[in-house]
Protein backbone atom coordinates (compact mmCIF):
# COMPACT_ATOMS: atom_id res chain seq x y z
CA UNK A 1 0.00 0.00 0.00
CA UNK A 2 1.38 3.37 -1.06
CA UNK A 3 -0.95 5.65 0.86
CA UNK A 4 0.93 5.11 4.13
CA UNK A 5 4.23 6.18 2.54
CA UNK A 6 2.54 9.22 0.96
CA UNK A 7 1.04 10.30 4.30
CA UNK A 8 4.40 9.87 6.03
CA UNK A 9 6.24 11.84 3.31
CA UNK A 10 3.67 14.63 3.41
CA UNK A 11 3.77 14.76 7.20
CA UNK A 12 7.59 14.86 7.34
CA UNK A 13 7.71 17.51 4.58
CA UNK A 14 5.30 19.64 6.63
CA UNK A 15 7.47 19.19 9.75
CA UNK A 16 4.60 17.60 11.61
CA UNK A 17 4.77 14.81 14.19
CA UNK A 18 2.40 11.86 14.25
CA UNK A 19 0.75 13.34 17.35
CA UNK A 20 0.15 16.67 15.60
CA UNK A 21 -1.32 15.03 12.54
CA UNK A 22 -3.45 12.76 14.71
CA UNK A 23 -4.96 15.72 16.54
CA UNK A 24 -5.87 17.41 13.25
CA UNK A 25 -7.42 14.24 11.79
CA UNK A 26 -9.21 13.40 15.09
CA UNK A 27 -7.61 9.98 15.46
CA UNK A 28 -5.00 8.53 17.80
CA UNK A 29 -1.24 8.65 17.18
CA UNK A 30 -1.32 4.85 16.94
CA UNK A 31 -3.81 5.10 14.08
CA UNK A 32 -1.45 7.39 12.17
CA UNK A 33 1.38 4.95 12.86
CA UNK A 34 -0.76 2.05 11.61
CA UNK A 35 -1.54 3.93 8.39
CA UNK A 36 2.10 4.82 7.79
CA UNK A 37 3.25 1.25 8.44
CA UNK A 38 0.55 -0.31 6.23
CA UNK A 39 -1.18 -2.02 9.15
CA UNK A 40 -4.52 -0.42 8.33
CA UNK A 41 -6.04 1.79 5.64
CA UNK A 42 -7.56 5.24 6.29
CA UNK A 43 -11.26 5.70 5.63
CA UNK A 44 -12.52 8.19 3.05
CA UNK A 45 -13.37 10.86 5.65
CA UNK A 46 -9.84 10.71 7.11
CA UNK A 47 -8.32 10.83 3.63
CA UNK A 48 -10.39 13.92 2.87
CA UNK A 49 -9.17 15.65 6.04
CA UNK A 50 -5.53 14.68 5.35
CA UNK A 51 -5.80 15.93 1.76
CA UNK A 52 -7.09 19.26 3.09
CA UNK A 53 -4.27 19.53 5.64
CA UNK A 54 -1.57 18.94 3.04
CA UNK A 55 -3.26 20.92 0.25
CA UNK A 56 -3.65 17.95 -2.06
CA UNK A 57 -6.45 15.63 -3.16
CA UNK A 58 -7.62 12.17 -2.21
CA UNK A 59 -6.71 11.02 -5.74
CA UNK A 60 -3.10 12.12 -5.18
CA UNK A 61 -2.94 10.35 -1.82
CA UNK A 62 -4.21 7.02 -3.14
CA UNK A 63 -3.06 7.00 -6.78
CA UNK A 64 -0.31 4.48 -5.99
CA UNK A 65 -2.97 2.14 -4.58
CA UNK A 66 -5.41 2.40 -7.48
CA UNK A 67 -4.53 -1.05 -8.92
CA UNK A 68 -5.08 -2.60 -5.49
CA UNK A 69 -8.34 -0.65 -5.03
CA UNK A 70 -9.55 -1.70 -8.50
CA UNK A 71 -8.69 -5.33 -7.74
CA UNK A 72 -10.54 -5.15 -4.42
CA UNK A 73 -13.61 -3.63 -6.10
CA UNK A 74 -13.52 -6.32 -8.81
CA UNK A 75 -13.28 -9.03 -6.13
CA UNK A 76 -16.20 -7.57 -4.19
CA UNK A 77 -18.25 -7.28 -7.41
CA UNK A 78 -17.46 -10.90 -8.32
CA UNK A 79 -18.54 -12.10 -4.86
CA UNK A 80 -21.73 -10.04 -5.07
CA UNK A 81 -22.51 -11.51 -8.49
CA UNK A 82 -21.96 -15.05 -7.19
CA UNK A 83 -24.40 -14.35 -4.37
CA UNK A 84 -26.90 -12.87 -6.83
CA UNK A 85 -26.62 -15.93 -9.09
CA UNK A 86 -27.29 -18.23 -6.11
CA UNK A 87 -30.24 -16.08 -5.05
CA UNK A 88 -31.53 -16.03 -8.64
CA UNK A 89 -31.51 -19.84 -8.83
CA UNK A 90 -33.15 -20.16 -5.40
CA UNK A 91 -35.85 -17.57 -6.22
CA UNK A 92 -36.58 -19.23 -9.58
CA UNK A 93 -37.05 -22.60 -7.91
CA UNK A 94 -39.23 -21.21 -5.09
CA UNK A 95 -41.37 -19.14 -7.47
CA UNK A 96 -41.99 -22.07 -9.82
CA UNK A 97 -42.69 -24.55 -7.01
CA UNK A 98 -45.13 -22.24 -5.21
CA UNK A 99 -46.95 -21.36 -8.45
CA UNK A 100 -47.40 -25.04 -9.31
CA UNK A 101 -48.60 -25.87 -5.80
CA UNK A 102 -51.07 -22.97 -5.88
CA UNK A 103 -52.44 -24.01 -9.27
CA UNK A 104 -52.78 -27.66 -8.31
CA UNK A 105 -54.61 -26.90 -5.06
CA UNK A 106 -56.74 -24.23 -6.75
CA UNK A 107 -58.17 -26.85 -9.12
CA UNK A 108 -59.27 -29.00 -6.21
CA UNK A 109 -60.57 -25.98 -4.30
CA UNK A 110 -62.71 -24.85 -7.27
CA UNK A 111 -64.11 -28.32 -7.77
CA UNK A 112 -65.09 -28.68 -4.10
CA UNK A 113 -66.16 -25.04 -3.66
CA UNK A 114 -63.70 -24.75 -0.79
CA UNK A 115 -63.22 -20.98 -0.57
CA UNK A 116 -60.85 -21.18 2.37
CA UNK A 117 -58.48 -23.39 0.37
CA UNK A 118 -58.88 -21.03 -2.58
CA UNK A 119 -57.92 -18.08 -0.39
CA UNK A 120 -54.85 -19.98 0.80
CA UNK A 121 -53.96 -20.63 -2.84
CA UNK A 122 -54.16 -16.93 -3.53
CA UNK A 123 -51.76 -16.25 -0.66
CA UNK A 124 -49.32 -18.91 -1.89
CA UNK A 125 -49.56 -17.53 -5.43
CA UNK A 126 -48.91 -14.00 -4.15
CA UNK A 127 -45.73 -15.27 -2.45
CA UNK A 128 -44.74 -16.93 -5.75
CA UNK A 129 -45.25 -13.58 -7.50
CA UNK A 130 -43.03 -11.89 -4.91
CA UNK A 131 -40.18 -14.28 -5.72
CA UNK A 132 -40.86 -13.73 -9.44
CA UNK A 133 -40.56 -9.98 -8.77
CA UNK A 134 -37.15 -10.59 -7.15
CA UNK A 135 -36.12 -12.47 -10.29
CA UNK A 136 -37.14 -9.52 -12.45
CA UNK A 137 -35.15 -7.13 -10.26
CA UNK A 138 -32.01 -9.25 -10.70
CA UNK A 139 -32.61 -9.47 -14.46
CA UNK A 140 -32.85 -5.68 -14.67
CA UNK A 141 -29.75 -5.18 -12.51
CA UNK A 142 -27.62 -7.38 -14.76
CA UNK A 143 -29.48 -6.52 -17.99
CA UNK A 144 -30.37 -10.12 -18.86
CA UNK A 145 -33.45 -10.53 -21.03
CA UNK A 146 -33.24 -13.50 -23.37
CA UNK A 147 -33.15 -17.13 -22.28
CA UNK A 148 -29.57 -17.42 -23.55
CA UNK A 149 -28.56 -14.44 -21.41
CA UNK A 150 -30.33 -15.85 -18.34
CA UNK A 151 -28.62 -19.20 -18.83
CA UNK A 152 -25.20 -17.56 -19.23
CA UNK A 153 -25.83 -15.48 -16.11
CA UNK A 154 -26.85 -18.52 -14.05
CA UNK A 155 -23.77 -20.42 -15.21
CA UNK A 156 -21.51 -17.46 -14.42
CA UNK A 157 -20.37 -17.47 -18.04
CA UNK A 158 -17.85 -14.86 -19.17
CA UNK A 159 -19.54 -14.80 -22.60
CA UNK A 160 -22.59 -12.91 -21.26
CA UNK A 161 -21.40 -9.65 -22.87
CA UNK A 162 -20.98 -11.36 -26.26
CA UNK A 163 -24.45 -12.91 -26.00
CA UNK A 164 -25.93 -9.54 -25.00
CA UNK A 165 -24.29 -7.90 -28.04
CA UNK A 166 -26.13 -10.37 -30.29
CA UNK A 167 -29.50 -9.34 -28.84
CA UNK A 168 -31.81 -8.21 -31.65
CA UNK A 169 -32.75 -4.57 -31.33
CA UNK A 170 -36.49 -3.99 -31.00
CA UNK A 171 -38.45 -0.72 -30.89
CA UNK A 172 -39.83 0.06 -27.43
CA UNK A 173 -43.46 -0.27 -28.57
CA UNK A 174 -42.81 -3.66 -30.15
CA UNK A 175 -41.02 -4.82 -26.99
CA UNK A 176 -44.01 -3.82 -24.83
CA UNK A 177 -46.40 -5.54 -27.26
CA UNK A 178 -44.27 -8.70 -27.16
CA UNK A 179 -44.31 -8.73 -23.35
CA UNK A 180 -48.09 -8.20 -23.30
CA UNK A 181 -48.56 -11.08 -25.76
CA UNK A 182 -46.36 -13.36 -23.65
CA UNK A 183 -48.34 -12.35 -20.54
CA UNK A 184 -51.67 -13.07 -22.23
CA UNK A 185 -50.43 -16.45 -23.46
CA UNK A 186 -49.22 -17.31 -19.97
CA UNK A 187 -52.58 -16.27 -18.50
CA UNK A 188 -54.43 -18.37 -21.08
CA UNK A 189 -52.20 -21.36 -20.31
CA UNK A 190 -52.89 -20.99 -16.58
CA UNK A 191 -56.62 -20.76 -17.27
CA UNK A 192 -56.57 -23.90 -19.40
CA UNK A 193 -54.54 -25.75 -16.77
CA UNK A 194 -56.98 -24.78 -14.02
CA UNK A 195 -59.95 -25.85 -16.17
CA UNK A 196 -58.26 -29.19 -16.82
CA UNK A 197 -57.55 -29.68 -13.10
CA UNK A 198 -61.14 -28.86 -12.16
CA UNK A 199 -62.48 -31.41 -14.64
CA UNK A 200 -59.87 -33.96 -13.62
CA UNK A 201 -60.82 -33.86 -9.93
CATH of the domain at 30: 1.10.260.40
68 domain residue, yes or no = no
pTM of the predicted model as reported, rounded to 2 decimal places: 0.52
Q: Are 110 and 190 members of one domain?
A: yes
Residue 148 confidence (pLDDT): 77
Q: Report the alpha-carbon distance of residue 107 to residue 99 in Å, rounded.
A: 13
Q: Are 92 and 33 members of one domain?
A: no
Q: List, for residues 67-77, the tens digit of each pLDDT value.
A: 776 777 777 77
Residue 107 has pLDDT above 60, yes or no: yes
Q: Are 40 and 103 members of one domain?
A: no
Q: Report the alpha-carbon distance of residue 83 to residue 85 in Å, rounded.
A: 5
Domain count, the chain: 2
48 domain residue, yes or no = yes
Q: Are 97 and 189 members of one domain?
A: yes
Q: What is the mean pLDDT of residues 171-193?
A: 64
Q: List, for residues 60-96, the tens digit of each pLDDT value.
A: 888 876 677 677 777 777 788 888 888 988 998 998 8
Q: What is the mean pLDDT of residues 192-196?
A: 61
Residue 34 confidence (pLDDT): 92
- Structural domain of residue 8, as residue ranges? 3-56
Per the model's pLDDT, the better-predicted residue between 157 and 27 turns out to be 27
Q: Are 51 and 97 members of one domain?
A: no
Q: If we measure between CA atoms, which residue out of 25, 87, 103, 182 comes closest to residue 17?
A: 25
Q: Are 97 and 190 members of one domain?
A: yes
125 domain residue, yes or no = yes
Q: Are 122 and 176 members of one domain?
A: yes
Q: Are 84 and 133 members of one domain?
A: yes
61 domain residue, yes or no = no
Residue 24 confidence (pLDDT): 92
Q: Give 88: exposed, middle or buried? Use CB within 10 Å, 0-12, 13-18, 19+.
A: buried
Percent of the chain exceeding pLDDT 70 equals 73
Per the model's pLDDT, the better-predicted residue between 66 and 172 turns out to be 66
Percent of the chain exceeding pLDDT 90 equals 17
Q: Are 140 and 87 members of one domain?
A: yes
Longest pairwise C-alpha distance within the chain = 90
Residue 194 confidence (pLDDT): 59
DSSP 39-107: SS---HHHHHHHHHHTT--HHHHHGGGHHHHHHHHHHHHHHHHHHHHHHHHHHHHHHHHHHHHHHHHHH
Amino acid sequence: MEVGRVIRDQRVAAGMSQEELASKVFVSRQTISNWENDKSYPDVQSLDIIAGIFGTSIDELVKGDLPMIDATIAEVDARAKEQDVRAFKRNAWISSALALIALAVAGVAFDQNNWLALAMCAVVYAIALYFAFLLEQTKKRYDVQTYREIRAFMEGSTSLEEIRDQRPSMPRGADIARKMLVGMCAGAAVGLLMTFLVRLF
